Amino acid sequence: MKQSRHQKIAELVSGMEIETQEELAALLKEAGFSVTQATVSRDIRQMQLSKVPSENGKQKYALLRQEETPSGKYIRVLREGFVSMDMAQNILVMRTVSGMAMAVATAIDALKLREVVGCIAGDDTIMIAVRSVEETRSLMAKFRELLRG
């Protein structure tokens, strides 16, 4: 029940400008969910809904990031910082946006990819030590897939 209610809340806040908990509760009731203000408040907290400015200048609820699991955060950092990559034997050299190499390297380490032995980062370049040449190719394919989304 909670999961379907959360899905409905995500649908409602994505498609409408909902300003208050009471408004959200009324919309949920119209959709067939039996909720109290306390339930709606708890759902808002659990789903980490935020108030953002709406087009009319008022505040509305928004689901800012649905992907924000720990690995989702790391993938987002990788996507935002990535520029290019190339390999030299079992070393993968990744170029990033200036100033992003440390954050991207930390994200790569946190993803705990079995091929990665470790990373060394500068300002816009990361050297990724990989176990073998074959695994370097495999890792590059994994990164391409992650970057495509």
The amino acid at residue 18 is I
For residue 19, the enclosing domain spans 2-62
CB 108 within 8 A of CB 126: yes
Domain shared by 55 and 87, yes or no:
no
Residues facing 118 on adjacent strands: 129
The CATH number assigned to the domain holding 94 equals 3.30.1360.40
What pLDDT was estimated at residue 76? 86
Residues in the chain: 149
Q: Of 62, 53, 73, 69, which is closest to residue 16 (Cα–Cα)?
A: 62
Q: What percent of the chain has pLDDT over 70?
A: 95
Q: What is the structure's pLDDT at 122?
A: 95
pTM reported for the whole predicted model? 0.55
Q: Which among 90, 87, 67 is positioned nearest to 77, based on CA atoms?
A: 67
What's the mean pLDDT in 109-136?
Answer: 95
Same domain (yes/no): 80, 56? no
Q: Confidence band (pLDDT; 50, 70, 90) for 140?
A: very high
Q: State the maximum Cα–Cα separation within the chain, in Å, rounded to a whole number.
A: 61
The total number of structural domains that make up the chain: 2
Same domain, residue pair 35 and 87: no
Higher pLDDT, 135 or 48: 135
Q: Indicate whether 93 and 116 sit together in one domain.
A: yes
Query: Tokens at residue 143, please?
Result: 């990164």
Q: In this structure, what token pair is assigned to residue 128?
A: 């990724």
Q: Is residue 58 located within the same domain as residue 14?
A: yes
Q: 32-36, 71-75, 95-99, 128-132: lowest mean pLDDT where?
A: 71-75
Task: Tell me: pLDDT of 65 over 70.
Answer: no
Among the three residues 62, 87, 108, which one is the final residue of a domain in this structure? 62
- The residue that leads in pLDDT, 57 or 16, is 16
Q: How confident is the model at residue 69 (pLDDT cuts 50, 70, 90)?
A: low
Taking residues 70-94, report their average pLDDT. 91
Residue 99 has pLDDT above 60, yes or no: yes
Give the span between the Cα atoms of 120 and 135, in whole angstroms.
Answer: 18
Query: Do 58 and 74 reside in the same domain of the chain?
Result: no
> In this predicted structure, what is the pLDDT of residue 57?
77
Q: What CATH number should be reported for the domain holding residue 49? A: 1.10.10.10
